[in-house]
Copies of this chain bind each other. A is one copy, B any other.
């Protein structure tokens, strides 16, 4: 097994939009100041270990197409180490500041719980959906023993995250949902799930971990229905178990569109509810009804998302996490670079676009004017303590209100966005 899978690739550097080099950044200039902050600090990119190094290019209808050396032999600690080394070399060549991984990604398979703990050692973040024991969920499993297994995995992963100085801990409820409602008690499962999350938050405080706990919404797949359907559903859940100040959302673009929302909607909603945390950067396919996890390539879509992120104050512990896979036919090592470079540059351009919109100011001014009525007169009165429905209705009747229609100017606003 080669000592360095990526030996042939030079480090990727910013060379500007006119570069001829396919393996350079055209827009991501990490030290460039945008809205008073370095690009790197704005975007906080992370490479995903599983998507780029563990997944072999398989899908439901076919086996792996990638011929990574660490997939060739047995799935043991040696292969795991080769994989880890390749990943670290890759992250370094891309010059991106973060990476993320699941507990089970970085170790060989282990069947009994004691072996699992030893194997674990240096890894982070619990995978509670791949093993057959989680086929009916982890925290929502009908069997308390499976729930206890999950508790053990999360405890270890959380503590490892803490030890490694991790900034976030993400819970993706991969199988927290149901395949058929006929055999399912939603009430019991949600109570158990709420208990689980409360215990995790409590444990975080006990061990002194100061990072953010995140839940990642997804509407369905693999299960028919997942409880963390979208941002509003997660908020409902957090509010119900009094966790809305403890837990935030990690929003994934492809999950947003699968749930019937745009990516920017989910971010704006999280902002409105005070639970915006972090981002899984990828894209889906609008004609396909499953999670395709492609690298982001639409500046247009991301500009609106970036605008919402800026309005939410930008990231604190979160960032752009590349929860994205190169396509099954993209079998070369170079394709891993093209996927990440394209994603990084797309997001960097979106940041520049959002900054230009903010600096131009016309869209924000139009929005402010559109809602200005709520800062004065009737608007203030409506919100004043003591005002009743009858009071407001009486005003409407006695003043013979005839509200003047005002254009929403959608096409003009879209044109302004398109100019940046």
Contact = CB atoms under 8 A, between A and B. Distances in A.
How many copies are assembled? 4
Contacts of A171: none
A341 to B, nearest CB: 7
A152 interface: yes
A44 interface: no
Interface residues of A, number: 153
Interface string A348-383: 000000000000000100110011011001110011
A32 interface: no
A350 to B, nearest CB: 12
A29 B188 CA distance: 36
A113 B401 contact: yes
A61 B174 contact: yes
Contact of A222 (B59, B331, B408): B59
9 nearest A-B pairs in the assembled complex, by CB-CB distance: A289-B289, A329-B408, A236-B236, A145-B403, A152-B393, A152-B396, A144-B379, A338-B411, A203-B389
A143 interface: yes
A130 interface: yes
A347 to B, nearest CB: 12
Interface string A311-348: 00000000000000011111110110011011001100
B112 A339 contact: no
B342 A220 contact: no
A335 B183 CA distance: 14
Contact of A382 (B175, B195, B304, B393): B195
Given A183-B366, A185-B371, A401 B149 contact: yes
Interface in A160-192: 174-175, 179-188, 190-192
Contacts of A203: 388-390
A268 to B, nearest CB: 5
A199 interface: yes
Interface in A391-420: 392-393, 395-397, 400-415, 417-419
